């Protein structure tokens, strides 16, 4: 499936934290139910007329994108932003050692610090539809100071 998007990833709107939490739960449920989905290509058109492509071919990413599409159509800018933020959050958690104190993974799934979801809902995506780590960490530090700590989780070290 190919999506022609008239916005660059970095101009997609923020989403509500509760919607990102629902997307996380829907993706987890889809994966547990082995609800695999097809590959997707996103062609983003920038203001200058240039384009950039993002291909989702990884089976897990396709499954999660399908779950978000069923929850909030990714044919809309909000649904697409929700989907890309979920995928960017998973990417960030997989590659950023500093984030390890903000989530735990157990037999019942992952438990996320509330500030992590709120930061992912609000932080801007970059041109590659990922989170800029320094900007994300700044937003996270601001949010985690105003929220109670998540169960059994700690805030990231600087």
CA 13 from centre of chain: 13
Query: Considering the entire predicted model, what is its pTM?
Result: 0.84
Q: What is the pLDDT of residue 152?
A: 40
Mean pLDDT in residue range 36-64: 94
Question: Mean pLDDT in the chain?
Answer: 85
Q: What is the pLDDT of residue 139?
A: 82
Measure the N-to-C terminal CA separation of the chain; round to a whole number of Å: 41
pLDDT tens-digit readout, 92-134: 888 877 677 677 676 776 677 777 888 899 999 999 999 988 8
42, 114 Cβ separation under 8 angstroms:
no
Q: What is the pLDDT of residue 113?
A: 73
SS3 142: helix
Higher pLDDT, 150 or 128: 128
Q: Compute the distance between CA of residue 127 and CA of residue 10 in angstroms, rounded to an integer.
A: 6
Mean pLDDT in residue range 12-31: 93
Cα→Cα distances 130→34, 35, 84, Å: 25, 24, 8
Alpha-helical (H) ranges within the chain are 17-32, 59-71, 77-95, 114-122, 133-146
pLDDT confidence bin for 158, thresholds 50/70/90: very low
């Amino acid at each position: 499936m190919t999506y022609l998007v008239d916005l660059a990833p970095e101009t997609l709107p923020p989403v509500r934290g509760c919607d990102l939490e629902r997307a996380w739960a829907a993706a987890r449920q889809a994966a547990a139910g082995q609800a695999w989905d097809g590959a997707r290509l996103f062609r983003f058109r920038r203001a200058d007329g240039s384009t950039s492509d993002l291909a989702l071919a990884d089976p897990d990413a396709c499954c999660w994108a399908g779950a978000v599409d069923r929850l909030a159509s990714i044919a809309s800018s909000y649904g697409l932003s929700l989907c890309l933020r979920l995928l960017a959050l998973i990417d960030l958690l997989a590659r950023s050692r500093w984030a390890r104190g903000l989530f735990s993974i157990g037999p019942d799934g992952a438990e996320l610090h509330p500030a992590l979801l709120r930061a992912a809902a609000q932080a801007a995506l970059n041109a590659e539809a990922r989170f800029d780590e320094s900007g994300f960490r700044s937003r996270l530090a601001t949010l985690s100071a105003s929220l109670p700590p998540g169960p059994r989780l700690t805030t990231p070290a600087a």
